[in-house]
Structure 1
Amino acid sequence: MAKKQNDGSTVKEERFQWTAKMDEAFIEAMLKEQNEGNRIDGSFTPQAYTNMVNDLTAKLNKDFKKEHLKNRLKTLKDHFSQCYDLFRGVSLSGFAWNSETRLIEAEDEVWDQLINEKPEAAKWKTKEICHYDELRQLFAKDRASGTSAITAKERRKQIENERRIETIQEVDQLLETNQVTLEKPITPEETQGAPTTPLSQLKLPTISKEKKKEKEGGRRKKY
């Protein structure tokens, strides 16, 4: 890659080459930052990158930059994801991870069946996967699906539902202690197949600050 100098000339920029030793140190650094809470929603914080750059530069005596780490992170994650998704982690029937050989292993007939269905699986029969256990700690959650992969919108809806449940439970408690009444009494006949009275039709009492403190104090004594 050519890089332009201030005087207008260009020089060939040396490509940043990653070695197995560098990968090992980088993965170790990522796990450390993740364990210290410097990875939020699957992304490392700016402070995490600063820490990793400083750590790797000192440990390996090489000039690391944030972009080097971000690019290598993408490469490691992509390679891991190909394997993880194909074998569903290590839960695909007949397959198992061997930490000594660093291979995904299975009987030949099991391999043949998978390769027949998915030819791209053939390379993983003999391809070692370095640091698979560590990469799984880093990236397995990102490959989750279904209920475990909840979106921000789904989480907001979940919180709203939880709040609604709490509100309904609070109203039930008020009804039980006669602290609230319904605008219209409900007869046994009306309860048969009739919809539940909406919360908007409930008359909630106004509780003064003094009364509220007294009530909260009673709860603390009770528990």
Structure 2
Amino acid sequence: MKSPGTSRLDPAAFIQANLPISTVPSIPEILLHTAGPASGLWRLAGRGETAPPPYWAYPWAGGAVLARHLLDRPELVAGRRVLDLGAGSGLVAIAAAKAGAAAVTAIDVDANAIAAIGLNATLNSVDIIAVAADIIAAPPPKETDLLLVGDLFYDPTLAVRVTAFLRRCQTAGIEVLIGDPHRAYLPQGALQQIATHAVSDFGAGFSDGAVQAGVFSLS
């Protein structure tokens, strides 16, 4: 899960004041508060200026490819209860809600992400339940039909924990969809790729050329 952030500032007020609203590259249907060079995110996170930026402040390729896929294939979520794990900005959760999900829950360990999800949901006129929690050591979530996972395979230890959790969810009857640009710790041998989309990736510096990211199900 994403690293927790702590702050004495009001997260929602800081995000509104310092993260401008823009459309997501490759996904013009969705607006997000997105950090820029002058956003000063280190102040919100309570860390030094050289600290790495928080994941929730940018649209990453794994989330972008899932969002694009759901908006193009709304029948995948229509009428279903959806959970977005490691939701970050809420991009995937917002796409699921726009595509007609019956209920959408977004979970992230970073309380600042939860504030961003709330603001971003309002921008896009959708209802999302946003929860700060680490659930990957817990039993599979109840009242969930579809679990969405965008870009959670960037760390080896996290990747092992997430994969084990997804297997438990699959065994409990929950469908799992993963979006990822083939990062180093993606367990590709345990997955089946079902779609590919060209999307931008903050991890690649939003270069002019899009990355080819995949949508996967568990084998």
Which protein is richer in helix relative to its size?
Answer: 1
Name the TM-score, length of structure 1 as normaliser: 0.25
Name the TM-score, length of structure 2 as normaliser: 0.26
Which protein is richer in strand relative to its size?
Answer: 2
